[in-house]
Structure 1
Amino acid sequence: MSRNVLKSSLQNASFNIIFQILFRCVTFVLNAFIIRYVGQDVLGIMNVRLLLLESTILFLSREPLLKACLTDTKSHNWAQVINQIWLSVPLSGLLSICLVYVWINVLSSTDDQYLMQYQIGCYAVAFSCVIDQIAQPVQLVAQSYCFVKLKVIFETIYITARTITFVILVINNPENAIHAFSIAQVSSSLLLCLLYYEFFYYYIKKFNNVKVKDDFKSDMEKRLFGDMQDFKFKSILDFIPGFMSNNDKPLNKKLTILTISFAKQSVIKQVLTEGEKYVMTISPVLTFSQQSMYDIVNNLGSLAARFIFRPIEDSAYFYFTQMIKRDSTLTQQDQKSVSQATIVLSHLCKVVTSIGLIAVFFGNSYSYTLLFLYGGTSLTETNLPTVLLKCHCIAVLLLAVNGVTECYVFATMNNKQLDRYNYLMVLFSISFLLLSYILTMFLGPVGFIFANCLNMAARIMHSVYYISHKYKDTNYKPLDGLIPGKFFIFSLILSLFVTKWSEHFYLENVTMKSTLIHILIGAICFLITISIWVYENKHLATIGFNKYKRRLSFKSD
């Protein structure tokens, strides 16, 4: 495609980071609202049980097909790809039938007062998942043709509509909060689906008119259509299977094999990602109230992962799939692409590792403060939430390194390597679940975090081995980016001593004034640490600054 892949990947990461910040801010405010209006039990049912059902259906039915269909989009036979991505609809329907039965009849039941609402909630979540999959073909095309801002705009509308609907219904009828959740879930999914199809209906109509005339009358038309001459869709019906002209087989064999490989991987990855929630759901380790408390602390501890790391990983995966071929060694590929991809990987490793280290060193001194500001004395009356959040900071560092290295691994492995890794992921999954259950029995909720850290460390070791082996015949060393600068490390250690002293001195008797002083001291240490990092990474900081300047100048023009 004619658009610059690296540019669109960076834009996608930037906009997604902004969107994730907005989404998480809304979620945190919403969680506090739920606790105050309807209590922790309802929050546990919605945030752990029902959202786990949604995550399981969507991830298993969407992830394998989407990853396979995003591979090398420049060479796509789009008729085959549309047929392939539509398989997610019947797949999500089949998964919904099976999983809803398990969620209602097999898993531990809720209290009688919530039972009917919970059952309706399961059906509503399943229905909304099927609707989401109907929108997958247009979302795939939007991502493939680099409609970066479109996703952010529509997802923001989606989150806003869901939140407003839920809040209005709960305020009017707080005892039926789970019903409100169900209505908000289905209505917002319908809205998102309609927005995507409506946009492309008008886009294709306008695109066809402009292409026939070959005349761009406005700057808007130039931006929308000027570099889209390779756009293959002539009608909104082309998004429906079988409508686009196709002189080949209905499905692409290579993409089908790749989908099967990703499907095996997705089952394992879902267990690894949501493992603690599965343990909580299947076994009576924690009550719904305790589950909601763990979920709140888990979300607070995963701020950096959700705001920054996930958008970076999604964009990096797309970038690496376009730059590095799966079935060739690096020496057999275009060296300019290999060099650029290596530099990007090294820079990404440097950035995410630095962010993770900042989370570890500053999180140790500010976990209590964050919990106090977010939930007041209800979250700080015992020491457990603070310990949980401090442990999460270690998990953030491991999550940062694992996310970037593993996204490169998944983007560059061939089918045989993916299949071999699937067996290894099975071992990781089984070990993780066993460790989660055993450690939780002895350590409580902290056991979930320790099990996750051990699992993440094992996956990092595999990714490091794979990347090192892939680059063994070259002069590139992208993993050097994982090693932070010595002055940066020194500034982190010094900041830890200063902020721990501040925490002990100013938070012995917590007041708003002492909390603000403690935060101010941390802010000064943070600015000094960031300044030292910029000094040690002048080249990387200059690249980011220049791109920001170009964006500002482009907007002003």
Structure 2
Amino acid sequence: MADLKEPPGPTSPPSPPPPTATTTTRALRGASLLILLQILSRALTFIANQILLRFLTASLLGVSTQLEVYYLSVIFFARESLRVAIQRQDTTTLSASLPSSSSSTSTSSESAKDRKDGKSEDGKDAAAAATQAVINLSHLSLLLSLPLSFLFGRVYLSSLSLSTLQSTPYLVPSLYLYGLAAILELLSEPCFAVMQIRFQFGVRAAAESVATFLRCAVTLGIAVWGARTGREMGTLPFAVGQCVYAVGLLAVYLWKGWKLSGREGFSLWPRRLLLSGDEKQQREELEKDKSKVGGGKKQDLFVLGYFYRPTLDLASSLMAQSVVKHILTQGDTFLVSILSTPTAQGVYALANNYGGLLARLVFQPVEESSRSYFSRLLADSTTSPSPSSPSSTSPSSPSPSSPSSKPSSTALHQASTSLTTLLKSYLLLSLPLLVFGPPASSPLLTLIAGRRWTSSSSSATTVPVDSAPATLSLYMYYIPLLALNGILEAFVSSVASEAQVHQQSLFMTAFSLVFAGTGYLTLKVWGMGARGLVVANAVNMACRIGWCWGFVGRWFAERTGAGKTGEKGGKEEEEEREKNDGEGGKEKVRFGVLDVLPKPGAVAAAVVARSVVGRVVGAGQQEVVMGAKEAVWELFKIAGVAVPFVVAVAIAEREFLLSGYRALQGKRQQQKS
């Protein structure tokens, strides 16, 4: 410690940007880029899958879905909680806790350009050290993947029946390849974390685009080659394609990350981090904030000198929730594998792939970007240091999720407005889906998947009548629930304290029992097949939405002076916050059900359009085997009703649409200026 530089003053570490239009613009730009990426990659995957469906049976598709769940389980448990915790990491506190220059993140002497621009070498070193802390934590994902891949693989093999093992070629080698793919993909996690905290979404877009193209090309190539040579390839094309995807992802991330690390002065390998200043004083300050260090015990800020303790503690708390969340997310596959046949699993996988396409193209990228946006917005508004307040960079400053924290009224209003806008936009997008999705299911499947997936025959080469078209039709009613739950849980994960995370885990455990009970009734008692899974998922998702909605409402109420949330009364706290925030404190923060519901005119248009479509298309068309021409004609009639419906909704919601357009125009003008 003798040869270290003196720690910088309390105002030396770079503070994060305030919650202004810059953060919002970068988040919106990132979300737009991710949506475009999803559209392009999913379009490519979609085309490849349509060709693959000609070579697949329903049972083989069901087994490949199980392998994908194994792969996703390893990935999810190894990195999900760490990703969320890293996104919520307080960069101001972390930078203040790190040395201005250390052996782990030291850079070369200050360049002439830096001296000319007046940039501080100490500030660069602190930023590099903060990045190094993120990289160190990300390497834990790789360590977790090794035992997880082995454990889950053994569990999956033991659950397979002898008939499935004998009838599916290359099943065991495919399982090993999926495990290898998970480990290879997690090797890129440190680079991903660096790009994510720096809002460099372009790197992710490039990596996933290259990886997706390679996976589609290899998977399709092996399947076509096997069909032409008369070889039964089984699930091997999917497994090899997933390995190639992981290699492509790793190559692009390493290339970009290596160049950035050389320029910024951090390492992609784990490196030891040292405390700055008086270590004893820092420990005493940390003892005052028991929520960060676990009960006020004397602990170092960095575990083993590598891992930032507050972030690691939060990740540990999120791990229990991740287990329950993954069971709920992939529980449909677990349940159907226990209670149904591989053929039914394949049918549900088909409906899930097509029905969830909108969720993966639009909702998932928006959810990921929103999580980063809300975390940064509300954390920055609470913890942004003031030059005149040395204690503002103290590690013991409250987090935005703690009950005593009070984000500024401007940040609260911005967060409430953004969340309300997203939820209402989702509901408006859901209207045409609910109206035209169910009647369009059968003709769409005829054109996309082929007639044997919509046939009512019960032969060995076809699917039972109550499966693909009917399941996809019912799935359309489930998609709006997916959308609402995704954005609400993204907000909850951005602001919830550790105690609230534990509470959410308990409720999600209860919801998982509700899901299992509903699934047993629909699959075993009522014999609904794959449709029963959709019903069980919808019930579970409605429970999760209800809990998240209540949490969000309480969270805003506690921070807008509705009741006593601290030592002072709510009214006194509100007056003090308005005084500190100036004019921004006068903005009223609102979040309610009526603010997100569509206008009565839009709902009326949906009811009328649904009635007209039912008359035009005709009842019971889902069970009619039609050719390509008949399918196109049915879709054409549905489109004829859709056009006036969209116009009617646009008129009813003109105020909301115009306000959104003005907001986007204002952000573009701010960006240009």
TM-score grouping bracket, smaller chain normalisation = 0.7 to 0.9
**Structure 1 CA distance, aligned partners of 2:213 and 2:628?**
32
Does the alignment pair 1:354 with 2:428? Answer: yes
The separation in 1 between residues aligned to 2:546 and 2:620, in whole angstroms, is 41
**For 2:167 and 2:188, how far apart are their aligned partners in 1?**
31
Partner of 1:160: 213
Do residues 502 (structure 1) and 616 (structure 2) align? yes
Q: Is structure 2 residue 334 aligned with structure 1 residue 278?
A: yes
Q: 13, 18, 37: which one pairs with 2:31?
A: 13
Structure 1 residues 5 and 72, CA gap change in structure 2 (3 angstroms): farther
Residue range with higher mean Cα deviation, 534-543 or 52-61: 534-543
CA contact (8 A) 2:181 2:246 kept: yes
Amino acid across the alignment from 2:531: V
Q: Which residue of 2 aligns with 1:438?
A: 521
Q: Which moved more, 1:339-348 or 1:389-398?
A: 389-398
Partner of 1:224: none
Q: Which moves more between the two structures, 402-411 or 56-65?
A: 402-411
Query: After alignment, is 504-513 or 366-375 more displaced?
Result: 504-513
Q: What does the per-residue CA deviation read over 1:400-442, in whole Å, with 9 as the maximum and x for residues that have no partner? A: 2222222212211111111111111111112212321332112
Q: Is the 8 A contact 1:330 1:470 kept in 2?
A: no
| Structure 1 position 345, deviation (Å) | 0.5
Q: Is the 2:446–2:627 Cα contact (8 Å) retained in structure 1?
A: no
Query: In structure 1, what is the equivalent of residue 391 of structure 2?
Result: none
Q: Sort the Cα spacing of 1:109 and 1:24 in 2 relative to 1 into closer, same or farther, 3 A.
A: farther
Task: Name the CA distance, whole Å, in 2 between partners of 1:289 and 1:336.
Answer: 54
1:229 matched to which residue of 2?
Answer: none
Q: Work out the CA distance in 2 between the residues paired with 1:509 and 1:91.
A: 49
Alignment match of 1:531 (pick from 647, 650, 658): 647
Aligned twin of 2:554: 469
Question: Could you tell me whether the CA contact under 8 Å between 1:330 and 1:338 is conserved in 2?
Answer: no
Task: Tell me the secondary structure at the aligned position of residue 489 of structure 1.
Answer: helix
Give the AA of the match of 1:166. T
Query: Structure 2: how far apart are the matches of 1:140 and 1:10?
Result: 19
- The whole-number CA distance in structure 2 between the counterparts of 1:511 and 1:552 is 48
Cα distance 1:170–1:371, how it changes in 2: closer, same or farther (>3 A)?
A: closer
**Residue 493 in 1 paired to residue 607 in 2?**
yes
Structure having the higher helix fraction is 1
State the TM-score, normalized to the length of structure 1: 0.87
1:361-440 matches, cutoff 5 A:
361-382=435-456, 383-384=465-466, 385-440=468-523
Q: What amino acid does structure 2 have at the position aligned with 1:280? A: V
How many angstroms apart in 2 are the aligned matches of 1:341 and 1:517? 45
Is the 1:324–1:337 Cα contact (8 Å) retained in structure 2? yes
The residue number in structure 1 matching 2:412 is 338
Contact 2:451–2:626 (8 Å) recurs in 1: no
- Paired letter, 2:271: G
Q: Matches of 1:449 and 1:324 in 2, distance apart?
A: 36
The answer on 1:37 being equivalent to 2:151 is no
Whole-Å separation in 2 of the counterparts to 1:547 and 1:334: 21
- Separation in 2 of the partners of 1:184 and 1:262? 31
Choose which of 135, 139, 146 in structure 1 pairs with 2:199.
146
Q: Does 1:478 align with 2:591?
A: yes
Q: Report the equivalent of 1:202.
A: 259
Give a deviation string over 1:34-78, Cα, whole Å, max 9, x none: 3322433332221x1110101111111110001101114643433
Q: Is the 8 A contact 2:145 2:183 kept in 1?
A: yes
Paired position in structure 2 for 1:240: 269
1:522 aligned partner? 638
TM (norm. structure 2) is 0.73
Could you tell me which of 137, 155, 161 is aligned with 1:102?
Answer: 155
3-state SS of paired residue (1:242): coil
The structural deviation recorded for 1:255 is: 0.8
User: Aligned AA for 1:91?
Assistant: L
- Identify the range of structure 1 (343-352 vs 186-195) with the bigger mean alpha-carbon deviation: 186-195
Q: Given residue 357 of structure 1, which amino acid in structure 2 is its aligned partner?
A: L
Asked if the contact 2:81–2:319 (Cα under 8 Å) also holds between the matched residues in 1, the reply is yes
Alignment CA distance shift 1:368-1:182 (3 Å): closer
- Taking the aligned partners of 2:206 and 2:326, their CA distance within structure 1 comes to 27
Q: 261, 283, 286: which one pairs with 2:317? A: 261
- The equivalent residue for 2:282 is none
Deviations 1:130-174 (A, max 9, x none): 111110010011111111222112101101001111122222224
Deviation of the 1:4 alpha carbon: 2.5
Report percent identity of matched pairs.
Answer: 21
Q: CA deviation at 1:276?
A: 1.2
Alignment-mate amino acid for residue 264 of structure 1: A
Distance change >3 Å, CA 317–CA 420, structure 1 → 2: same
In structure 2, C-alpha distance between the alignment counterparts of 1:464 and 1:556, rounded to whole Å: 37
CA distance in 2, matches of 1:386, 1:421: 35
**Alignment pair present for 1:71 and 2:88:** yes
State whether residues 33 and 205 of structure 2, in contact with CA within 8 Å, keep that contact through their aligned partners in structure 1: yes
Q: Which moved more, 1:487-496 or 1:378-387?
A: 378-387
Paired residues of 1:31 and 1:43 also in contact (CA < 8 A): no
CA contact (8 A) 1:365 1:496 kept: no
Distance (whole Å) between structure 2 residues aligned to residue 195 and residue 244 of structure 1? 27
Report the counterpart of residue 40 of structure 2 in structure 1.
22
C-alpha separation between the residues in 2 aligned to 1:331 and 1:522? 52
* Other-structure match for 1:221: none
**Displacement, 1:454?**
0.8
State the aligned residue count: 526
- Check the 8 A contact 1:72/1:322 in 2, yes or no: no
Shift of 1:120: 1.0
Aligned to 2:377: 323
Correspondent of 1:185 among 242, 248, 265: 242
Distance of 1:297 and 1:204 partners within structure 2:
43
Q: Which runs of 5 or more structure 1 residues have no equivalent in the other structure?
A: 209-232
CA distance in 2, matches of 1:143, 1:54: 23
Residues 462-495 of structure 1 deviation map (CA, whole Å, 9 limit, x = unaligned): 1121122223353432233331111111111111
Paired with 2:664 and 2:35, the residues of 1 have a C-alpha distance of 15
Matches of 1:176 and 1:509, distance apart in 2 = 30
Shift of 1:194: 1.7
| Distance verdict in 2 for CA 1:197–1:539, change over 3 Å | farther
Query: Which piece of structure 1 moves more, 74-83 or 251-260?
Result: 74-83
Which amino acid counterpart does residue 161 of structure 2 have in structure 1? S
Q: Is the 8 A contact 2:146 2:183 kept in 1?
A: yes
For residue 370 of structure 1, report the CA deviation from its aligned partner. 1.8
Structure 1 residues 347-356 or 359-368, which shifts more?
359-368
Please report how far the alpha carbon of residue 546 of structure 1 lies from its aligned counterpart in structure 2 after TM superposition: 5.4
Per-residue CA distance 1:223-252 (angstroms, 9 max, x = gap): xxxxxxxxxx315xx121116776562222
Greater Cα radius of gyration, structure 1 or 2: 2
